[in-house]
Amino acid sequence: MTAIESPISKVPQEVLRAIFAINGSYDELIAARQKGSIQEIEERVFNEPDTTHSVELSRFDRHPLTTIRRASQVCQAWRYTILHYPGLWGGLIDVDFMAHPSVKTHHQLVWAEEVLRRAGNSSFTVVGGLIHGTMRYSDESWTSLLSNLFAVHWRQIRHLNLDLRKSQRELNFVNEAISTPAERLEYFSLTCSSDMGSAKKLFSNEAPSLRNFAYHGLGFDFNAPWTRQLQKLTLQLRAEDLKASKLSAFLNALSHMASLNSLEITNAITASELRGDVTSLPSITLPQLKHLSITHDIGICNILLSRITPTPGRRNSVCATMYQFDEATALELAAQVSSYVGRCKYSFGPLVSIMLETWRFRFVNLNFEIIKRRSSYAADMERFARVFLDIFVNGDFRLTTSLHFEIVGFQGVLTNAFTESARRFIRKFQSVKVLRTDAVAFSVVTGPDVVPGLEGHPRLLPRLQELRIIGWWIDGGPFGRDFVDRFNSFYRRNYSDGCERVRAFVLDLRVARVRDREAFDALKEAESIVVQYPQATAAEFSELTFLPSSFEKTESCRCVIAGQQC
């Protein structure tokens, strides 16, 4: 009997290697751990250095190391390819997973040694750390594995991402290793509970390939030669770092990092103040900077934003996270951000997206965010929101044809001052043809007191062709006639005098409660309905279609109303 050859067996070995490399990547795992979105690892590792295909899979069978191990047991060809691919195994060193307590320490170490043997002299990716909620890990096996990696394989490590804050043992071997040259090291992220003794002479000043560096504190030589080639720098500022003299030296060092395109600064404590003369801090220019993220006390955010000059015309990403609300310092932060954005001299593109929430303000185009980490009253954030809008009132929006503007969670606290700020902001978008907004924002910017055409009040969105309302059904509020009247008034006041008309009105509606559906009783099972407007000079909307057709079977429906000019 002739065996039928599977098409997959014809895949070239170099393609197979590429597929295995993708499935063995730790990128998603590292991202999940950094976000805290991965559950505590409860899955087992196998008891023997290698197992048969009949072994029961764990719940964590999607871990890259398990994936590659299982793939090596599919067929002889795959096994040969995988076992003769040292670089694949070198990229699979997860200390947490390999030192898991579900098996005896002896078996853990045997399997870890087998992985290292298969990796050979390839470059290593080492991830993990005692970072999970309970100390269920065998600290002995974990420390033994880590000691072997640093003592024997340090110069093979290309990517290191470790959190050692919860280790219960002395880790002098780490201190010794990181003070020696690291020729292959490209990515270094090490979090400790205290300074490493050799931090000031990291890598013996020899790390020619290092591009991404993350560390806690300024307890290292930030003028070392390897710092000048960094492309991404992530630092935690501790209380002892918040001295004007130390911060001044750090800013001067930053000015020599000509390749730096990402700078992230966080704090290791919840409240802190800068000590010393702030006026002595230098202002610096980072010519390649694309991303700036500051998560710290609002005062530190202000200081750093005021001292870092972006390159004009470069698209910058900015995130400022504050831990407390104080109106005076919040206003100062807004002023500093406004100055920073102004110095970018960035011309905004076809799509602009703004979201105001009670805990976060986002300018999506710049990846710009101001985040409130602690609870605050919506009224507090409302005051700051109007300042946030004023940050961008002088922006260049001539190329913007689509605007997404959303206000979430501010019902009942919006003031006249906020309304004026919002309208002043919206009027900057004279080229917008598509507006996507929610009920609150729509009500704010299109209220009956908005009078177009007066001196100093340009027509609201004069080129608008399409309006999309999302989430109108907020807090069970009225829809039907109230909305029809509001939209009709908006249309008559802005688009009924011969200028370009609104061509389409698209409503995305999410109904949260069954009783809210009573407003749609008149629609019944109809697929379409004629909507008559009170005045012939307004648009005559001829068709209303529900998708999907059965409204009762879904919590979300989309309503499209096609418009015709009179």
pLDDT tens, position by position, 322-361: 655 566 766 777 677 767 766 666 667 788 888 887 777 7
Number of neighbours of residue 375 by Cβ within 10 angstroms? 8
pLDDT top residue among 260 and 139: 260
Read off the pLDDT of each residue in 427-440 and give the average, rounded to a whole number: 82
Q: What is the mean pLDDT of the chain?
A: 68
**Residue 228: what pLDDT?**
92
**Residue 233: what pLDDT?**
93
Read off the pLDDT of each residue in 89-109 and give the average, rounded to a whole number: 69
**Residue 64: what pLDDT?**
79
| Residue 106, phi then psi, degrees to nearest 5 | -60, -45
Q: d(Cα 472, Cα 548) in Å, to the nearest integer?
A: 18
**Residue 230: what pLDDT?**
94
- Beta strand 262-267 pairing with 232-237: parallel
| Residue 143, phi then psi, degrees to nearest 5 | -65, -40
Distances (CA, A) of 357 to 37, 267, 375, 414: 22, 24, 13, 12
Confidence of residue 416 (pLDDT cuts 50, 70, 90): confident
Determine the angle formed by the axes of helices 327-344 and 378-391, rounding to 10 degrees: 20
pLDDT top residue among 265 and 471: 265
Read off the pLDDT of each residue in 73-81 and give the average, rounded to a whole number: 82
pLDDT at 307 over 60: yes
Residue pair 247/306 in contact (Cβ under 8 Å)? The answer is no
**Residue 187: what pLDDT?**
94
- Beta strand 402-408 pairing with 308-309: unpaired
pLDDT at 232 over 90: yes
